[in-house]
Amino acid sequence: MRNGLRIAHLNIRSLVPKFNRLKPEVHGYDVLAISETWLNAQISNENLKIDGYNLIRLDRDGRGGGLAFYLRDIFDYKIIDTSNNSEQLWISLRFHKLLLTIGVCYRPPHTPCNQFVDALEESLAGCIQESDHVYCFGDININLPNMESPSTQYFQSMLDSLTMFQLIDSPTRVTQYSSTLLDVIITNDKESVTNCGVKTLQLSDHDLVYCTLRHESENIKPFTHTFRDYKDFNHDELNNNLNNLPFQEIYYIRDVNRKVSFLNNLLLGLFDKPKPKAPWLTDNIKLMMKLRDRAKAKFRKTKKNEHWEYYKMLRNWTNHSIEREKRAYFEGVAVSTDPKFIWKE
């Protein structure tokens, strides 16, 4: 893994007859996600064994479908139970002290788009809370370049609500009469991906999609970057404070340099004075609040019991997280070496 963690996905449309041709390709990746394996309980892992890799699989009850991972056996991993009815398989593993969650999903063409996207959103939302970074691969059977499609719009809206990104921008299934982008790579950390793309293997009517995660091998010295947060800036309050500043005092100062210093301190003091309304509201909690509110809005629209239960779960997660962060914040204030800090806050 000198060049990072290499991950790929292929909709293979039946693994067994193509297994011998797939084996050489597997060794080019640390994780290979596969959809439409078409495996069943009568097919043993021994018949699909590749040296140096673990096979993790989720077979469909019935014909077709099925998901799998080939994962290098140097990784310890954990299978994550998403507890929904869509075809998804999720694992978590450690990579350079980071906890990564990697998933593979498949939407059969007959499955309603909204049903699939809602189930995927639920899984992604849970994984975001438990992991440092999330990566999801799969064939969603939505032609993403068609922005006029309600399915594309619904899928993109879901990604936007989670602040996630779809990285593939080239067609992944090309026939004599069509060219569509159906296979995706989704992540909440696109900056960690050094390259991604599409590769034709001639093993399926789908192309392989791949990416490489950045390998942080250097010991980078930490540094502190301070800045003023103007997100909640109150312009009316600023104007009132400006009117109350004792600018006239500058006439009693003779030295020019001290006049400049006095004026700078007056003006800078205006911007340093406002304090954040709730400093314990971290970016993670704000995301949870956003997910909670979106879930509540969805329940109001559908009145479905499962949407209500999903909203309650997010609401409880959010409330507990806020209490935890608030407690940690004030404990930090209490042990501050500067007593004035408590009163400033």
E strands present in 59-151: 67-72, 77-80, 87-95, 98-106, 133-139
Alpha carbons 80 and 103: distance in angstroms, whole number: 9
Q: What is the pLDDT of residue 340?
A: 45
From the list 136, 137, 143, 82, the residue with the least C-alpha distance to 109 is 143
pLDDT at position 127 is 93
pTM of the model: 0.66
Listed in sequence order, the residues at least 6 apart from 253 whose beta carbon sits closer than 8 Å to its beta carbon are 259, 262
| Secondary structure of 283-304 as H, E, C letters | HHHHHHHHHHHHHHHHHHHHCC
Given this model, what pLDDT does residue 186 score?
98
What is the rounded distance in angstroms from the CA atom of residue 260 to the CA atom of residue 23?
73
Tell me if 284 sits within 8 A of 328, measured CB to CB. Answer: no
- Residue the block writes with tokens 């090309």: 174
| Contact yes or no for 133/187 (Cβ under 8 A) | yes
What's the full length of the chain, in residues?
345
176-187 core/surface letters (b: 16 or more CB in 10 A; e: else): eeeebbbbbbbb
> What tens-digit pLDDT sequence spans the chain (345 residues)?
556 999 999 999 999 999 999 999 999 999 999 999 999 999 999 999 999 999 999 999 888 899 999 999 999 999 998 777 789 999 999 998 899 999 999 999 999 999 999 999 999 999 998 899 999 999 999 999 999 999 999 999 999 999 999 999 999 999 888 899 999 999 999 999 989 999 998 899 999 999 999 855 444 445 554 656 565 667 777 787 788 777 776 776 778 887 788 788 777 777 665 544 567 688 888 898 889 888 888 877 787 888 888 888 888 888 888 888 877 766 665 555 444 444 344
For CA atoms 175, 102, 187, 313, the dihedral sign is positive
